[in-house]
Amino acid sequence: MSALFSARRLKAMLVKEGLQILRDPSTILIAFVLPVILILIFGYALNLDTGRTRIGLAQQDGGEAAASLATAFRQSPWFAVVAVGDVPHLKDELVAGRIRGIIVIPQDFSRRAAAHAGTIQAITDGSLPNNAAFVASYADGVRQNWALARDGRAAVQPALALTLRYWFNPGSVSRYFLVPGAIAVVMTMIGSLLTALVLAREWERGTMEAILATPLGMAELVVTKVVPYYVLGLAAMTICTVVSLILFDVPFRGSVLALLAISSCYLFCALGQGLMISALARSQYVASQIALLAAFLPSLLLSGFIYEISSAPLWVQWVTRIVPARYLIPSLQTVFLAGDDWGLFLPDMARMLLFGAVFFAITLAKTKRRVA
Amino acid sequence: MNRWLAFLIRCRAMIIKEMWAVLRDPRARIILVGPPIMQLVLFASAATLEVKNVEIGVLDLDNGPAAHEVLQQLAGSPNIHALHRLASYADLARAIDRRDVLCAVVLPEGLSRDVAARKAASAGAVCDGRRSNSAQIMGGYLADMVGRAGLALRGVAPDAAPGGATVVRHMFNPNLDFLFFVLPALVATVASISSLSVSGQSIARERELGSFDQLMVAPLRLPEILIGKMTPPLIVGLVNATLYLLVITQLFGEPLRGNVFSYYLATFCFLTANIGLGMAVSALAQTQQQAFLGIFLVAVPVNLLSGFAAPVDNMPLMLRMIAEADPQKHMVVLMEGLFLKDMPLATVLANTWPLMVISAVTLTFSSLLFRSRME
């Protein structure tokens, strides 16, 4: 048996893998089209800033004060009054989801408003908790401002106010924090999902047996499977980055070197995970499902990208510790929005490499045993 | 009469064959039922927009009664896990940079003096904008707490608002429990992913294994083949829907206020729409790998445009129109309506017909593709 790595064998296999990728339209689709779709959706569709909320207005009082308050609601930049009528009718609209809240101006409102005690009712759609809280607090805001303006008073100065500043993202633009998430999703797709599928296919079709019958060593096999997808992953990451920088003016305050280093560590780990899944599953269907459940969804939901990890129950926090993307997101957010901070990057990079090493070790052990 | 009997017999044979194809592999059987339920439980537990257990820094340059009151409010907050005393602005910058704290409150020199003199007094807070979502939520909490501290310093009751009041009633979910919103939406998400991935393999797998040609020469008509292909994902989906219903009502205690018939009607139409979508992708794909990646390319936008991740109302008009063709968007509305709002049948139907249209279009499209492959 020759040396562990032979340049000739490696080159031959790399060419084979490269051609296999380039000749399959689906891998090109995933590596080049998916990143663009993701960035576009994240940039345009995931708008967490509330616009005008559709409400219904039940004006039960014909007095002047009630009419004036109703106008205040109609002119509010926070609400769009799209339905008027009695409460039962508006409740049906609320159930149907055509409106998100009902403002009731009760019968004796004008009389009580004259005595500075005008009370209104806000009925919200609790099935959408964020929206409901918004409607409740802004409805009260509209009423308070109306009452103050009517009394000819300026807003009361609070005894103690809080001036909030958001570092790195002063305008709290949600796009800025979504981009690192998009990159994580795309690299997980290519690293774990695509790799798992490709290798499982070799097993399923029996071409793996053919490869194993060649002088190619296990280590060489793993390297030739990893390198092309590593390149593909970096290419997709670059597309994500460039598109988001051009289209959405997302800041990039760190260095390209740091971004490459962080992405490489994550790809190492994701590729290891993909190889391990395929070695364990050996069927494309099973591999695809495991990759989806163990790699893709956790990278979206358990990585701290959307939901704060510390807010989850303790057992979920433990589960997130074995989600590699959890160690990627903070570094990516930092490299885009804050700049290079190797004291923050290095521990997380080490963790990702460690996870990757474990995945690769399991893959090698599993493959050897089954073939022998 | 005989023709119908023959049709039924052939359908039965095809359905048995397809059920075998899906259920034969023991690992595949486990994957069809286990993970969807696990996802429901795990993601429901992880998905919260409340921000809890966070670390907050405090830079106290005031050391007076006002600072004391603010600190007491912070210490009493159920959302804050620990308060870290910071010695200087440099300390504060480091704590934020290193993500040791999510936000840091600055109590400037002379704060107590200004409050006592009834001047406009203001504390500061710096939040980590990298985590802008959580930071904004926490910033809101902090502003509330500081405001309450101000009222306490003046000796005013917290809810003394000017002239009158707004009585708030949150219908359907009085405590605004976020979980009650997440669970129905997750039913749509999980069911969508599982039905798409099962139906996406249906035709592509036959083609890759070479059994597609056998299917073509078998004495089966197109509708019979399609019915056979649709049945396994439909049955798996309905079994899972029943499990979701049990888990949500029994484990999480969220009621199903709408009727069970509507729940299954909505699920059935939603599954058909997804299966149509999955089969169309499957018919277009040459290999299983292409089918799976194609499904993924469809599943991501379907998921993100459904209104679960961000409200459809906030999207630009173009995307709102695309979202109308997204089965999951209608399913989220239906599930939220059926679990919490006791949506009446007429409204259920009003939200179900788009699903039927989507099913009709995608199923027709995939059968046309299928037919073109037969010839």
Predicted confidence (pLDDT) at residue A189 exceeds the cutoff of 90: no
The residue among B129, B121, B76 whose CA lies nearest residue B104 is B129
Whether the Cβ atoms of residue A63 and residue A29 lie closer than 8 Å to each other: no
Predicted confidence (pLDDT) at residue A151 exceeds the cutoff of 50: yes
Whether the Cβ atoms of residue A109 and residue A25 lie closer than 8 Å to each other: no
Same-domain status, B146 and B223: no
Same-domain status, B128 and B202: no
pLDDT of residue B357: 95
Cβ contacts of residue A98 below 8 Å, gap of 6+? Answer: A54, A82, A83
pLDDT of residue B95: 92
Low-confidence stretches of chain B (pLDDT < 50) are none
CA distance B37 to B257: 21
pLDDT of residue A55: 92
Predicted confidence (pLDDT) per residue in B278-307, tens digit: 999 998 888 888 888 888 888 888 988 888
Domain with A118, as residue range(s), is 53-151
Domain boundary among A84, A118, A151: A151
Q: B81 is written with which tokens?
A: 């896990």
Is residue A178 included in any domain, yes or no? yes
Question: For residue B51, how far is the Cα from the chain centroid?
Answer: 18
Predicted confidence (pLDDT) per residue in A243-291, tens digit: 888 888 888 999 999 999 999 999 999 999 998 998 888 788 888 888 8
The secondary element (H helix, E strand) that includes residue A250 is none
Same-domain status, B188 and B274: yes
Size of interface A-B (CB pairs under 8 A): 350
pLDDT of residue A327: 92
Same-domain status, A21 and A111: no
Predicted confidence (pLDDT) at residue A365 exceeds the cutoff of 70: yes
Predicted confidence (pLDDT) per residue in A57-75, tens digit: 999 988 888 999 999 999 9
Same-domain status, B227 and B328: yes
Same-domain status, A193 and A308: yes
Predicted confidence (pLDDT) at residue A372 exceeds the cutoff of 50: no
Predicted confidence (pLDDT) at residue A2 exceeds the cutoff of 60: no
Same-domain status, A36 and A140: no
Q: Provide the CATH number for the domain around residue B126.
A: 3.40.1710.10
pLDDT of residue A255: 93
Chain A residues with beta carbon closer than 8 angstroms to that of B168: 121-122, 124, 136, 139-140
Same-domain status, A111 and A241: no
Give how many domains chain A has, as a whole number. 2
CA distance A199 to A214: 17
Same-domain status, A75 and A212: no
Q: Could you write out the DSSP letters of every residue in B2-63? A: HHHHHHHHHHHHHHHHHHHHHHSSHHHHHHHHHHHHHHHHHHHHH---S--SEEEEEEES--
Same-domain status, B92 and B192: no
Q: What is the mean pLDDT of chain A?
A: 85
Same-domain status, B74 and B222: no
Predicted confidence (pLDDT) at residue A36 exceeds the cutoff of 90: no
Interface confidence, given as ipTM, is 0.83
Give how many domains chain B has, as a whole number. 2
Is residue A338 included in any domain, yes or no? yes
Is residue A200 included in any domain, yes or no? yes
B135 with A49: Cβ contact below 8 A: no
Residue B86 has phi, psi (to 5 degrees) of: -110, 145
Q: A159 is written with which tokens?
A: 């005894």
Rounded to the nearest 10°, the torsion over CA A319, B184, A290, B304 is -100
Instruction: Tell me the shortest Cα–Cα distance from A122 to chain B, in angstroms.
Output: 5
Same-domain status, B190 and B316: yes
Cβ contacts of residue A217 below 8 Å, gap of 6+? Answer: A1, A4, A5
Same-domain status, A139 and A215: no
Nearest CA in chain B to A250: B130
Chain B residues with beta carbon closer than 8 angstroms to that of A94: 171, 341
Pairing mode of beta strands B121-128, A160-167: parallel
Same-domain status, A59 and A192: no
- Best residue in B166, B167, B318 to probe A by mutation, most A CBs within 10 Å? B166
Is residue B360 included in any domain, yes or no? yes
N- to C-terminal Cα separation, chain B: 29
- In terms of phi and psi (left: phi > 0; alpha: psi -120 to 50; beta: otherwise), the region of A85 is left
Chain B residues with beta carbon closer than 8 angstroms to that of A128: 181, 311, 336
Residue A363 has phi, psi (to 5 degrees) of: -60, -50
Same-domain status, A244 and A339: yes
pLDDT of residue B161: 53
- Best residue in A61, A68, A285 to probe B by mutation, most B CBs within 10 Å? A285
Is residue A324 included in any domain, yes or no? yes
Same-domain status, B244 and B279: yes
Same-domain status, A142 and A211: no
Is residue A233 included in any domain, yes or no? yes
Cβ contacts of residue B59 below 8 Å, gap of 6+? Answer: B86, B87, B88, B89, B91, B92, B104, B105, B106, B107
Nearest CA in chain B to A43: B315
Residue A89 has phi, psi (to 5 degrees) of: -60, -45
Same-domain status, B152 and B180: no
pLDDT of residue B332: 93
Predicted confidence (pLDDT) at residue A17 exceeds the cutoff of 90: no
Most confident of A2-6, A367-371, B152-156, B240-244: B240-244
The residue among B145, B121, B156, B153 whose CA lies nearest residue B58 is B145
Chain A residues with beta carbon closer than 8 angstroms to that of B34: none
Helices (H) and strands (E) in chain B, counts: 14, 5
Same-domain status, A335 and A230: yes
Domain boundary among B125, B160, B195: B160
Predicted confidence (pLDDT) at residue A4 exceeds the cutoff of 80: no
Same-domain status, B140 and B288: no
Mean pLDDT value of segment A356-371: 80
Same-domain status, B131 and B226: no
Chain B residues with beta carbon closer than 8 angstroms to that of A240: none
Whether the Cβ atoms of residue B274 and residue B331 lie closer than 8 Å to each other: no
Is residue A168 included in any domain, yes or no? no
A122 with B167: Cβ contact below 8 A: yes
Predicted confidence (pLDDT) per residue in A111-126, tens digit: 888 887 888 999 999 8
Predicted confidence (pLDDT) per residue in A192-221, tens digit: 888 888 888 888 888 877 777 777 777 787
Domain boundary among A119, A151, A183: A151
Q: Which residue did the predictor score with more confidence, A370 or B65?
A: B65
Predicted confidence (pLDDT) at residue A301 exceeds the cutoff of 90: no
Query: Strand pairing partners for B165?
Result: A119
Predicted confidence (pLDDT) at residue A234 exceeds the cutoff of 80: yes
Give the model's confidence band at A106: pLDDT under 50 very low, under 70 low, under 90 confident, else very high: very high
Domain boundary among B131, B160, B189: B160
Is residue B19 included in any domain, yes or no? no
CA distance B224 to B230: 10
Is residue A156 included in any domain, yes or no? no
pLDDT of residue B156: 65
pLDDT of residue A6: 78
Domain with B364, as residue range(s), is 175-374
pTM over 0.80: yes
Find the CB nearest B130 among A132, A161, A337.
A337
Is residue B342 included in any domain, yes or no? yes
Q: Is the dihedral of CA B70, B73, B78, B83 positive or negative?
A: positive
B290 with A47: Cβ contact below 8 A: no
Same-domain status, A42 and A127: no
Q: Strand (E) positions, chain B?
A: 54-60, 80-86, 103-107, 121-128, 165-171
